[in-house]
Each structure stands twice: as C-alpha cells, then as structure tokens.
C-alpha cells in the first residue's frame, strides 16, 4: 500500500485505532478520489449523492467513513498533499536534480490552483481542518528540501533558500491567476526557479 493511501485511510479512521478491512480501505480511497474529481468539477458543495455515484458506492458508505462534509474535504486535502510530496522522490528518480525541482514546482502550482477550490471551506474554522496547516508543512517541506539539496549539491541552484520560502513564494505568485488558466502562474514560477540558478557554480 502506498504512503498516500495509508494517510488517506488514517484520515478517514480519525481517532479510531481499529484498522479498516481491505474492502473498507478500498471504499475510502475510491470515495476520496471521486470526491476530489467532483469537487474540482462541481465545487465542495456538490451533493454527496453525486460523489457516491462517481465512486460507485451508496451515500451511507460515505457518511460511515466521513460523518461530516468537512471530514471528506480534509481527506481530499491530505490526499493532494501526499501526492504532491510523493512526486518529489519520483521526479528525482527520473530527471537531473535541477529539472526535477523545476518540474516539481510546476506540480506544486497544480496543487495550489486545485486547493483554491477548497479554500473557503478550509478556513471556515471547522474542527476537521485544524491540523491541516501542520500536515502541509510536515509533508511538503521535507519533500521540497530533498529537491533543493539535490540541485544545490549538483551546483545547479544556489543553496541559500529554504523550502518554506519557496512554498510561500509560489503560493503568492499563484494568487492573481484565474482558476481555469494558471498559465501566468506557471510562467512566474518558471522565472522564480531560473532565479535560483543565479549564483549556481556549475
């Protein structure tokens, strides 16, 4: 089982220590994936029945694992964080460090643009969202740090930058972009990465 699926399931279990059965684990993952798709297309207020239909399960199955809509939204957010974090190691295994960093930063733009659809809910004060900022930092900062370290070690970028600085910079650059056309944000982030190459000593 992947780390992404494990974290998604952990979010669904909440405080319960009883492990989910295999079929229940599959249902949880399918529901979260389906909710991600429906939220992107119809917004976070989409009817649960629409998500159930997409997932091929009954509405009762969703509420069994996610009693409140906020629980499902939080699970989708964690799933997206996990996928973005996992992409760092995958890219490092496929590309030179500098290119891996560049590609991951563009992947992070996708995450930010997708998260914007959840933003109004995430900052609503619901208890289910309280741990999400910590979850975000705990998973994405180490993933980006690995990319920075690899690119700096290969002397492709400057080394005096922190993952927190880059994550916040990209989030700020994405703010003016329209949800349906992140092209401007992509361009700005590409320029940001080019700027990191200043003082590279390769």
Q: Which residues, 6 or more positions from 117, have their beta carbon under 8 angstroms from its beta carbon?
A: 39, 40, 43, 44, 179
Domain ranges within the chain, ordered by starting residue: 3-196
Reported confidence tier of residue 112, pLDDT bands at 50, 70, 90: confident
**CATH topology classification for 3-196:** Tetracycline Repressor; domain 2 (1.10.357)
State the pLDDT at residue 199. Answer: 63
Helix residue ranges, H only, 43-96: 48-55, 59-65, 69-92
Backbone angles phi, psi at 181, to 5 degrees: -145, 85
13 contacts 20 by C-beta, under 8 angstroms: yes
State the pLDDT at residue 79. Answer: 94
pLDDT at 179 over 60: no
| Whole-number Å distance between alpha carbons of 42 and 46 | 6
State the pLDDT at residue 20. Answer: 56
Give pTM, 2 decimals. 0.81
State the pLDDT at residue 122. Answer: 74
Task: Report residue 69 as tokens.
Answer: 């809509």
- The candidate with the shortest Cα–Cα distance to 66, out of 8, 110, 109, is 8
4 contacts 15 by C-beta, under 8 angstroms: no
Backbone angles phi, psi at 113, to 5 degrees: -65, -40
For residue 123, the 8-state DSSP code is: T
Q: Which residues, 6 or more positions from 25, have their beta carbon under 8 angstroms from its beta carbon?
A: 1, 5, 9
State the pLDDT at residue 183. Answer: 87
- Mean pLDDT across the stretch 21-36? 86
Our CA dihedral for 45, 51, 57, 59, rounded to 10 degrees, sits at 20
For residue 44, the 8-state DSSP code is: T
Higher pLDDT, 118 or 54: 54
State the pLDDT at residue 120. Answer: 67
104 contacts 147 by C-beta, under 8 angstroms: yes
Task: Report residue 165 as tokens.
Answer: 């600085």
Determine the 3-state secondary structure of 176 from DSSP.
coil
Reported confidence tier of residue 22, pLDDT bands at 50, 70, 90: low
State the pLDDT at residue 5. Answer: 47
pLDDT at 201 over 60: no
pLDDT at 35 over 80: yes
- What is the chain's mean pLDDT, rounded? 85
- Residue-wise pLDDT for 130-165, tens only, equals 999 999 999 999 999 999 999 999 999 998 999 999
Reported confidence tier of residue 25, pLDDT bands at 50, 70, 90: confident
pLDDT at 171 over 60: yes
Residue showing tokens 């960093």: 101
């Amino acid at each position: 089982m992947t780390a992404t699926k494990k974290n998604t399931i952990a979010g669904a279990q909440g405080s319960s220590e009883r492990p989910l059965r295999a079929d229940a684990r599959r249902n949880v993952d399918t529901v979260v994936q389906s909710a991600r798709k429906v939220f992107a297309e119809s917004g976070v207020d989409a009817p649960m029945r629409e998500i159930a239909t997409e997932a091929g399960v009954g509405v009762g199955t969703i509420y069994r694992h996610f009693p409140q809509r906020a629980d499902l939204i939080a699970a989708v957010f964690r799933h997206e964080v996990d996928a973005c974090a996992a992409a760092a190691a995958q890219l490092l295994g496929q590309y030179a460090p500098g290119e891996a960093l560049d590609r991951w930063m563009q992947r992070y733009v996708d995450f930010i643009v997708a998260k914007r659809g959840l933003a109004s809910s995430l900052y609503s004060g619901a208890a289910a969202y309280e741990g999400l900022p910590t979850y975000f930092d705990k998973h994405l900062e180490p993933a980006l740090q690995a990319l920075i370290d690899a690119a700096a070690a290969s002397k492709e970028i400057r080394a005096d930058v922190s993952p927190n600085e880059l994550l916040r910079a990209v989030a700020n650059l994405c703010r003016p972009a329209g949800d349906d056309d992140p092209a401007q944000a992509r361009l700005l982030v590409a320029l940001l990465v080019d700027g990191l190459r200043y003082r590279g000593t390769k």
